[in-house]
């Protein structure tokens, strides 16, 4: 029988995801929970396991396609039983969603709201079945999906086709449909140049007259330099991590009143300690660096200044003070800026922190960070020093009270024991939410950090 698998709600409150790649092809035999695809949400690339054991009968979407939650993405031919059919449009009929994998959400009952028209597009032919075998209705959608679109804008229907059959909604993504509405372009008259006839942004712009070349026309082969010289601009879709980061930063900047303080510190003794640790037997197999020292110093300073490790609960009108540190580390990845966090960083020693930082950054750069690692942070560090930058005014991660920016470590003339000496110096930039943290509290926290990094032995007076 044929079982249809629809894009699940991955538990992040998101309405769409992009198919990054398929790990299977039509005709492949798969096992239950075998990874069949990589799916990019607004936060991370997630491995999607198969909910069935059987043969892949049909891939509904191509890599690079943005798919709405609840839309069919793959069909399986599994042995025995009857074909899966969508529930009739009846208020009392429950929506089937089985099996219910972890994080995919539970089935819900229909609300009786209007259903959304099916999407149109050619797809590979299913393997042959006996003539008496029932078939799946692939145009119906479960109640959960109908609910999710019950408040969306209504859109005009496309004109009927030449054969007289009623036309279906043209295949396109939500951003493209919005662009078409804004420009007054009728999607019903367009031929999509994307996979399976998907109408793209370029198709809409070409119809509106905003492009110099017809959609889909390829330029002659040329060098990168000559190609750039013929293009006055490049348009990059805002999606995935970049879209999520932009929304989060705007929310943070216009919700939390930011204050940034700076402290330039002589870190010569910390750098000498770091050199000794790297040459010691205990840390011979550990990737330890200045970020590790700053992370440990931050955890110690937070214990003395707990207001920096809190969040503002607007709904409850409460300040929530955390007794643990989920330390976020900003990581530049090919997919954009990500801030995964080390859970319970306050409980880790220097070696444990070094290992956790290595695993965190390696996983982020490989694009394998899980959504759980990107949520629940309580305070963050961004190391702008690796780019040769001295200082900055970092924007808070939403829900966090503070973020620390580390500048580059530079040798420069500095006052040391009443004389001018060449010392290793670093600037710390601390941004904090002034609703939660007063100037005095932020200053004391930054001063404690500076004390530890300028004279690591002073930790003995703080713990």
Whole-number Cα distances in Å, 213 to 35, 207, 296: 40, 11, 56
Please measure the distance between the N-terminal and C-terminal CA atoms of the chain and give it in whole angstroms. 65
434 labelled catalytic: yes
Residue 62 region by backbone torsions, left for phi larger than 0, else alpha for psi between -120 and 50, else beta = beta
Task: Determine the 3-state secondary structure of 94 from DSSP.
Answer: strand
**Cβ contacts of 281 within 8 Å, gap of 6 or more:** none
Report the alpha-carbon angle 395-400-402, nearest 5.
Answer: 60
CA distance linking residue 21 with residue 73, whole number of Å: 12
Q: Is the dihedral of CA 152, 153, 158, 164 positive or negative?
A: positive
Measured CA to CA, the distance from residue 2 to residue 79 in angstroms comes to: 9
Strand 54-59 relative to strand 2-6: parallel, antiparallel, unpaired? unpaired
Cβ burial 143-175 (10 Å sphere, 16+ → b, else e): bbbbbbbeeeeeeeebeeeeeeeeebbbbbbee
Q: Which residue is listed with tokens 């030449």?
A: 162
Point out the catalytic residue in the list 23, 60, 151, 434. Answer: 434
Rounded Cα–Cα distance for residues 346 and 415 (Å): 33
Q: Tell me which residues are annotated as active site.
A: 434
């Amino acid at each position: 029988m044929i079982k249809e698998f629809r894009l699940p709600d991955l538990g992040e409150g998101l309405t769409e995801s992009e198919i990054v790649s398929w790990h299977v092809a039509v005709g492949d035999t798969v096992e239950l929970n075998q990874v069949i695809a990589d799916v990019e949400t607004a936060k991370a690339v997630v491995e999607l396991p198969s909910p069935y054991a059987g043969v892949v009968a049909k891939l509904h979407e191509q890599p690079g396609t943005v798919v709405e939650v609840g839309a069919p993405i793959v069909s399986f031919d599994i042995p025995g039983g009857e074909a899966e059919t969508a529930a009739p449009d009846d208020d009392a009929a429950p929506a089937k969603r089985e099996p219910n994998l972890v994080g995919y959400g539970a089935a819900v009952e229909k609300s009786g709201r209007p259903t959304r028209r099916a999407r149109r597009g050619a797809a590979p032919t299913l393997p042959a079945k006996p003539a008496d075998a029932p078939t799946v209705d692939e145009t119906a959608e479960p109640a959960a999906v109908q609910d999710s679109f019950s408040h969306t804008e209504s859109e005009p229907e496309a004109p009927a086709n030449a054969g007289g059959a009623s036309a279906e909604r043209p295949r396109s993504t939500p951003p493209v449909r919005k662009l078409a509405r804004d420009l007054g372009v009728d999607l019903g008259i367009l031929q999509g140049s994307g996979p399976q006839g998907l109408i793209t942004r370029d198709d809409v712009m070409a119809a509106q007259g905003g492009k110099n070349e017809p959609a889909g026309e390829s330029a002659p082969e040329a060098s990168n330099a000559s190609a750039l010289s013929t293009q006055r601009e490049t348009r990059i879709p805002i999606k995935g991590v970049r879209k999520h980061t932009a929304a989060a930063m705007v929310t943070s900047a216009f919700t939390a009143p930011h204050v940034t303080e700076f402290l330039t510190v002589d870190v010569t003794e910390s750098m000498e300690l770091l050199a000794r640790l790297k040459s010691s037997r205990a840390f011979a197999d550990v990737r330890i660096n200045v970020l590790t020292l700053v992370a440990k110093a931050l955890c110690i300073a937070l214990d003395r200044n707990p207001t920096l490790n809190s969040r503002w609960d607007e709904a409850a009108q409460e300040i929530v003070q955390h007794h643990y540190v989920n330390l976020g580390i900003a990581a530049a990845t090919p997919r954009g800026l990500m801030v995964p966090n080390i859970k319970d960083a306050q409980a880790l020693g220097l070696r444990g922190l070094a290992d956790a930082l290595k695993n965190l950054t390696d996983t982020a750069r490989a694009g394998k960070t899980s959504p759980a690692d990107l949520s629940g942070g309580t305070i963050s560090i961004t190391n702008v020093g690796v780019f040769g930058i001295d200082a900055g005014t970092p924007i808070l991660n939403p829900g966090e009270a503070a973020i620390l920016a580390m500048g580059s470590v530079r040798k420069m003339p500095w006052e040391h024991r009443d004389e001018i000496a060449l010392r290793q110096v670093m600037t710390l930039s601390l941004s904090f939410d002034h609703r939660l943290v007063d100037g005095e509290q932020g200053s004391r926290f930054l001063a404690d950090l500076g004390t530890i990094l300028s004279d690591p032995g002073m930790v003995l007076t703080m713990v």
